[in-house]
Amino acid sequence: MINGLLIIPAIHIPSPLEQLQNKLTQIIVGNKISESNINYNSLILSTASYMGSLPVLNLEDVNSIEQYHDFVDKVNDAIKILNEQKLGMQIPLLNYAPDEYDKISKVITKFVPLIHEYNDMILAAKNIHASNHDSINNFYIKTGIFSLILLLVVTAAYAAPSYALVGTLYRSSGLTTMAFKCPSCVSVVLSEAHWAVRGYFVETTANVLDYTLTTMSKLPSLRTR
């Protein structure tokens, strides 16, 4: 109280960027891994056993709210599996709201990359073999591509991508963890994400995300491995 006046502190309302960043950084508390104590192959095989039980998406694109609901149902089941496994991923669930469908539709020209990467991940899970290291790496790569592209879409839809989000996106997509196990896999994931961004995002968004992905590829965790 100053001069008899009650001073009420200003209430800070987080911006969309801050809200998204806060949501994604939950990974630091809830999903941190000890790289030295985890058998990664076993972890990836376990993830694949759950993922392989999911159906593929029989869609070429999403052109209606009904198709979007089908898309969300299946994609959210995959997201839940990835978030529950200790691969370092923390991906926000999609929702059925028409406004989210509208927001996503404004930043991508087609849902093709999301549908394609989801189906590729499911098929890789169904075809994984414990004795085949290539099939294990292939599934791991597919989870990274799916996670990163989905996170880029959500980021672009709700908050303009920025340098401040690069590290958070890198961690939340599981790439920080992947860099310890398979640095070359991270390069493949970033390359595929670049392709999707250039081919299916609206131009202004694509330019920003292209810069974001280029920045990710220069992170110290990759340069030192």
pLDDT tens digits along 130-172: 889 889 999 999 999 999 999 888 888 877 655 567 777 888 8
Write the CA distances from 81 to 53, 148, 173, 209, integer angstroms.
Answer: 11, 15, 13, 26
DSSP string covering 26-93? THHHHS---TTT--HHHHHHHHHHHHTTSPPP--S---SHHHHHHHHHHHHHHHHHHHHTTSSB--PP
pLDDT at 94 over 50: yes
pLDDT at 174 over 70: yes
How large is the average pLDDT for residues 80-100? 89
- Neighbouring C-alpha atoms within 13 Å toward the C-beta of 214: 7
Query: Does residue 56 fall inside a structural domain?
Result: yes
Query: Does residue 42 fall inside a structural domain?
Result: yes
Query: Does residue 11 fall inside a structural domain?
Result: no
> What's the confidence (pLDDT) of residue 196?
85
> What's the confidence (pLDDT) of residue 75?
95
> What's the confidence (pLDDT) of residue 185?
87
Query: Does residue 5 fall inside a structural domain?
Result: no
What pTM was computed for the model?
0.78
The total of structural domains in the chain comes to 1
Q: Please say whether the beta carbons of 105 and 112 come within 8 A.
A: no
Burial (0-12, 13-18, 19+ Cβ within 10 Å), 16:
exposed
The model's pLDDT over 177-187, given as tens digits with 9 standing for 90+, comes to: 888 888 888 88
Query: Does residue 156 fall inside a structural domain?
Result: yes
